[in-house]
Amino acid sequence: MKSAFCCSLLLVICLSLASQSTQEPQNIFIITTDGFRWQEVFSGADSALINNPLYVQDTSLVKAMYWDEDPVIRRRKLMPFFWDIVSEKGLLYGNRLFENKVNVKNLYKISYPGYNEIFTGYTDARIVLNFPKNNRNSNILEYLNNTAAYHGKVVAFSSWNLFPYILNAGRSKIPINSGYDDMPEDGTDTIFRILNGMQDRVLHQSHTRFDCLTFLNAREYIGQYHPRIVFIGLGETDEFAHAGRYDLYLQQANAIDKMIAELWYFVQTNPFYKGKTTFIISTDHGRGNKSTTWHTHNFLTKGSSETWLAMLGPGIAPLGESKIPMQTFENQYASTIAMLLGLRFENRHSVGNAIHFPSVTPANELAKQQPLFSK
């Protein structure tokens, strides 16, 4: 009798420990591709642009790579990971053909205000220009880094060299590898020494590093140090668009889709991350929606506020492309990130409400169930 009781007690303890192990903090990877339009995400290459020799140097070759009369086939040719994996196992918002809208709320519709909105949940009218000035608004990465669960486990990588200002690296104490900054080396990190040497040899370094270098730095760091909260900001889609190179814009979008696919495969085959990691993928602003304005964006250019959002991982219902008329704003992302982690994002300023998508407990219910970490 005692033996049976002991066995039962041991089983209860084991089940309790197993239950606790599944409640460990989850991981969030936030990935942005600067200024990439919803039109290409949901419909693939634009016929008015891919056939225009002003924007495409070899129209026949680029069409062979990315064109099809059927927009469903066309978008898959451009972004196969999005339309083979994300659309099957995650959620995609922002196809305005179904009145499913994602927008920036800030007035200016350029990058610094857009990223401030994404990470702080706040549209600050004082942030007008893409200027290297420290952001006075605290952000979700900083907030998470100040919690017991995520302290020292938050990191950011960006191609654009303004992110140390946007995320206020001095105040937030978040490690940020940005622009052509070298990765720290401790004498044993051979791969970072190689990557630093590669980017140091780039002859024409601009304010935006090659995305492939940003991705390689991020991937190697993730593999070695297993951070729980990762931001990867890619920037060349915006650079090629501003240069009026629609061919290179499409090529870079396709390359970024492959980068995200590679990172997702790593996550799904690594015991530290598998089944516990959610990807949130978006952009900071839209672009002009005409063939004469696609390459620019600002508060005067129609289409500049129109964006998109993709999510994949635990807590995300595998409903694919949302065709339900609804409105989502970028200032909701920060609260949504917190909600997915069982937290509530609080700040000195107002923040947008979390997105209440299917299968995720509303923030007010989480607030009743979960302890809130103070700033």
14-61 per-position pLDDT tens digit: 434 333 333 344 999 999 999 999 999 999 999 999 999 999 999 999
Cα dihedral sign, 209-213-217-218: positive
**Per-residue model confidence (pLDDT) at position 17:** 38
User: CA-CA distance, 305 to 315, in Å (whole number)?
Assistant: 27
**Per-residue model confidence (pLDDT) at position 101:** 98
> Quick check: helix, strand or coil at residue 304?
coil
User: CA-CA distance, 78 to 43, in Å (whole number)?
Assistant: 9
Model pLDDT for residues 206-218, shown as the tens digit of each residue = 999 999 999 999 9
Please give the share of the chain, as a percent, with pLDDT higher than 90.
85
Cα angle for residues 221, 79, 167 (degrees, 5° grid): 40
| For residues 216-236, average pLDDT | 98
Model pLDDT for residues 328-345, shown as the tens digit of each residue = 999 999 999 999 999 999
**Per-residue model confidence (pLDDT) at position 92:** 98
The strand pair at 309-312 and 27-33 is best described as unpaired
| For residues 314-332, average pLDDT | 96
Q: Which residues pair with 329 in a beta bridge?
A: 103
User: CA-CA distance, 64 to 56, in Å (whole number)?
Assistant: 13
The residue count for the chain: 375
Higher-scoring residue by pLDDT: 369, 183: 183
Q: Given 3.40.720.10, 3.40.50.300, 3.40.1230.10, 2.40.50.100, which CATH number is that of 24-369?
A: 3.40.720.10
Phi, psi of 157 (to 5 degrees): -130, 135
Q: Which residues, in sequence order, are CB contacts of 8 under 8 Å at separation 6+?
A: none
Whether 1 shows a pLDDT value over 80: the answer reads no
Q: What is the DSSP letter of 320?
A: E
User: CA-CA distance, 160 to 259, in Å (whole number)?
Assistant: 17
Question: Which amino acid, residue 58?
Answer: D
pTM score, whole prediction: 0.90
Whether 117 shows a pLDDT value over 70: the answer reads yes
**Per-residue model confidence (pLDDT) at position 365:** 44
Model pLDDT for residues 138-164, shown as the tens digit of each residue = 999 999 999 999 999 999 999 999 999
Whether 363 shows a pLDDT value over 50: the answer reads no
**Per-residue model confidence (pLDDT) at position 189:** 72
C-beta of residue 306 within 8 angstroms of C-beta of residue 344: no
Whether 246 shows a pLDDT value over 70: the answer reads yes
User: CA-CA distance, 220 to 197, in Å (whole number)?
Assistant: 15
Whether 4 shows a pLDDT value over 60: the answer reads no
Higher-scoring residue by pLDDT: 323, 371: 323
User: CA-CA distance, 97 to 282, in Å (whole number)?
Assistant: 18
**Per-residue model confidence (pLDDT) at position 9:** 41
Whether 119 shows a pLDDT value over 80: the answer reads yes
Confidence of residue 188 (pLDDT cuts 50, 70, 90): confident
**Per-residue model confidence (pLDDT) at position 8:** 44
**Per-residue model confidence (pLDDT) at position 52:** 98
**Per-residue model confidence (pLDDT) at position 302:** 98
Confidence of residue 13 (pLDDT cuts 50, 70, 90): very low
Domain positions in the chain are: 24-369
**Per-residue model confidence (pLDDT) at position 156:** 98
**Per-residue model confidence (pLDDT) at position 176:** 98
**Per-residue model confidence (pLDDT) at position 234:** 99
